[in-house]
Amino acid sequence: MSYLKACALSELEENTPKRVELDGTPVSIVRAEGEVFAINDICSHANVSLSEGEVEDCMIECWLHGSAFDLRTGKPSGLPATRPVPVYPVKIEGDDVLVSLTQES
């Protein structure tokens, strides 16, 4: 599995999404509940950046219509979104946050 550097761990604030682009793929990096998650940054309901939304209880909410997605699985918690968004494997090496664009879900 190939990993790409997404950002520095020290750049991440708890529950504050950071948008990065990896090989042309928009990804939201989120530090929440003691872990770091990588989720596709585009809402499956509307073409909206998830990193502009809020994070709470390991969920990221789309600011436009209120759908929330689980950072661990990408699954929506309710309407209007019905399709999950991809989540990606993350590993930490020193202060580097590395992401593989191979989907976990």
Is residue 79 a part of any domain in this protein?
yes
Is residue 23 a part of any domain in this protein?
yes
Instruction: Specify the pLDDT at position 35.
Output: 97
Instruction: Specify the pLDDT at position 68.
Output: 96
Segments in the chain below pLDDT 70: 103-105
Instruction: Specify the pLDDT at position 5.
Output: 98
CA contacts within 13 A on the Cβ side of 28: 30
Is residue 33 a part of any domain in this protein?
yes
Alpha-carbon radius of gyration of the chain:
12
Is residue 72 a part of any domain in this protein?
yes
Instruction: Specify the pLDDT at position 104.
Output: 56
Provide the number of structural domains found in the chain: 1
Q: Which domain holds residue 84?
A: 3-100
Instruction: Specify the pLDDT at position 98.
Output: 98
What is d(CA 28, CA 36) in angstroms, rounded to the nearest whole number? 10
Is residue 53 a part of any domain in this protein?
yes
Instruction: Specify the CATH number for the domain of residue 87.
Output: 2.102.10.10
Is residue 105 a part of any domain in this protein?
no
Alpha-carbon distances of 16 from 23, 32, 60, 80, rounded to whole Å: 22, 8, 10, 23
Instruction: Specify the pLDDT at position 71.
Output: 98
